[in-house]
Amino acid sequence: MFSSLLIANRGEIACRIMETAKKMGIRTIAVYSDVDADARHVRLADEAVLIGPAEAALSYLDGAKIIAAAKQTGAEAIHPGYGFLSENPNFAESCTKAGIVFVGPSAKSMRQMALKDQAKRLMELANVPVTPGYHGDDQTETTLAAAAKDIGFPVLIKAVAGGGGRGMRKVEHKDEFLAALTSARRESLAAFGDDKVLVEKFITNPRHIEVQVFGDSHGQVVHFFERDCSVQRRHQKVVEEAPAPGMSDEMRAAMCGAAVKAAAAVNYVNAGTVEFIVDGSAPLNPDKFWFMEMNTRLQVEHPVTEAITGYDLVELQLKIAAGGAVPKQADILLKGHAMEVRLYAEQPDKGFMPSTGKLAVFDVANDEHIRLDTGYEAGDWVREFYDPMLAKIITHQPDRGQAVSVLGSALGSVHVWPVRTNAWFLEQILRSPEFGLGAHDTGFVDKYLDEMMGQRPTSAQIAAMMVQGSATEIAGVTSPSPWASLGGWRLNGQANVRTRTQIDGQVFDVEIQFAGDQQTILVDGELCTPIGVPSDYTVLVQPGGKRICFFNSNFWEISVPDASSEAGTLDALDSILAPMPGKVLEVRTELLASVVQGEVLVVMEAMKMEHALKAPRDGVVEVLNCKTGDQVVEAMVLVSLN
């Protein structure tokens, strides 16, 4: 076993790998960009090396700098984590040439599985079932459009070099195909440096089930059972679990057997994941699953496999990289049910726009019932340059029902501020009856998104709650005296409480009218349905009087309104502001153009995702303050309407 390991990654995966390496007595070396100088993975490492500026292409994706750092620190091995250079065969070869062990498969195996079209042809030769589609070299629009028509809509356009849902578009009708193709190619080129795509049939009610495999240098390949990753948004996994709901012994044997066959076909060594698309329109059938792709690396969701098998997969990776062998298949047993959610820095109620900033509060469960994998602590910065995942929250319980319950409770107690998270959205997924029954497929989020969004209290309801019942203390009203409110009061007359409050920057006029035991609540003169006062809320008081109220996986900022905030509310519909720092990919309007509400005017890229910025109302473009390629800062006015 080698004595020193450089982790060519950042965030939670770098911290996760260090945890195992330290347990094994291996010296750990971190690399970091200039904005990550005080990141958690740097603090945990025994040694750390600066490799460049914030932009990943100039730091974490620069293989030469990483190998130089390994030589500088005497690292005997490099673990690439996932993402960045983890599936880059050229980097793996460079490590070998430099005399450094690459913890992962060979460059040859990577190349065989890296391009989806090539991998599918290889799987066909190995008698592994493959999704019908076009995997050819002719990439003209005419050929691809014709292939889509022959396959039959709906189809999926997929980047051949892709992963993580980038460069992937579902197309329902032929009239949408060319626009989707352009967008998929652009995103693929930006993410992977390759705009080649394939087109395949979209399977109705598809489930995404994958198999964890391991191979060693002695010619052995084993599996560690399956994971269900069907809960996805924009083709990115949100909830992962093992084993897959509804999995029969017959189906498991067929699928895991196919995965082992796929890995053996390329003489695979180390950790890999074989991903299948499964027909979820009926009970799982051994004849209705198809190979999608193989990820030649460790996966984000590996903790659920560790939980049900009891194996530390990073430890096994390191042992195999040092020449060790995989365990016997008969010794790999499945126990209980594990589930993982990905806590993202994003705003579900605002189109899942990423959120950045300094984590003043970062309180997430981490106890005997919950495993927390994270690259952050309170005081750390969430930067716009990298993936928005803050943490993985994992539980392992005797059965699926208990796993759902324990994980849901953990999400309900998440306190993160001022960075927004998707915790409450994840909690809604777990509370869904369809998810509880295991009856979901990859279209689950799209199907129930509006319903789940409707479960979040509106700002008006929060404003009402703040001045209602025992919650008056939260709003700063601590006395029942009539002098403590702006409402009129008279002897033997109807009592009213009236006040103005500001919730997340929006000002509300709240009036509570009392008639005996009955209360009528008006917000801005409109009748408001109360949500009741939660019993488990937490309030954080900030300097200057601002209060942060946490409950139900959410937070709201409460303050006394001022003139500037009210003016800002009136002006909000006149401009499109950059929601965060990023790059302008496309400007779809021009000066003096007439636009309609909801029309996409600017497309931005931030935190590895595209974001469409839409007109807030009908109007005419009076100011156009950006062009394609511009780097913009948060809150910059991009377009103004008159």
Q: Catalytic residue positions?
A: 297
Q: What is the DSSP string of 253-313?
A: HHHHHHHHHHHHTTT--EEEEEEEEEE-SSS--TTSEEEEEEE-S--TTHHHHHHHH---H
Burial of 597 (0-12, 13-18, 19+ CB in 10 A): exposed
Report which of 293, 297, 236 is spatially closest to residue 88, judged by C-alpha positions: 297
Other Cβ atoms less than 10 A from the Cβ of 399: the count is 9
Residues 6+ positions from 129 with CB-CB distance below 8 Å: 123, 258, 289, 290, 291
Q: What is the 3-state secondary structure (H, E, C) of 474-498?
A: HHCCCCCCHHHCCCCCCCCCCCEEE
Cα 130 from Cα 277, distance rounded (Å): 9
Cα 30 from Cα 553, distance rounded (Å): 33
Cα 289 from Cα 252, distance rounded (Å): 11
Cα 208 from Cα 216, distance rounded (Å): 26
Half-sphere exposure for 200 (CA within 13 Å, toward CB): 20
Burial of 602 (0-12, 13-18, 19+ CB in 10 A): buried
Cα 497 from Cα 482, distance rounded (Å): 8
Residues 6+ positions from 311 with CB-CB distance below 8 Å: 224, 305, 327, 332
Say if residue 243 is preceded by a cis peptide, omega within 30 of 0: yes
Cα 288 from Cα 248, distance rounded (Å): 13
Half-sphere exposure for 390 (CA within 13 Å, toward CB): 30
DSSP H or E stretch at residue 426: helix 423-431
Q: Alpha-carbon Rg of the chain, whole angstroms?
A: 27
Residues 6+ positions from 340 with CB-CB distance below 8 Å: 239, 240, 241, 301, 303, 304, 392, 393, 394
353 contacts 611 by C-beta, under 8 angstroms: yes
Report which of 40, 11, 64, 16 is spatially closest to residue 318, judged by C-alpha positions: 16
Q: What tokens were used for 64? A: 């030469």
83 contacts 9 by C-beta, under 8 angstroms: yes
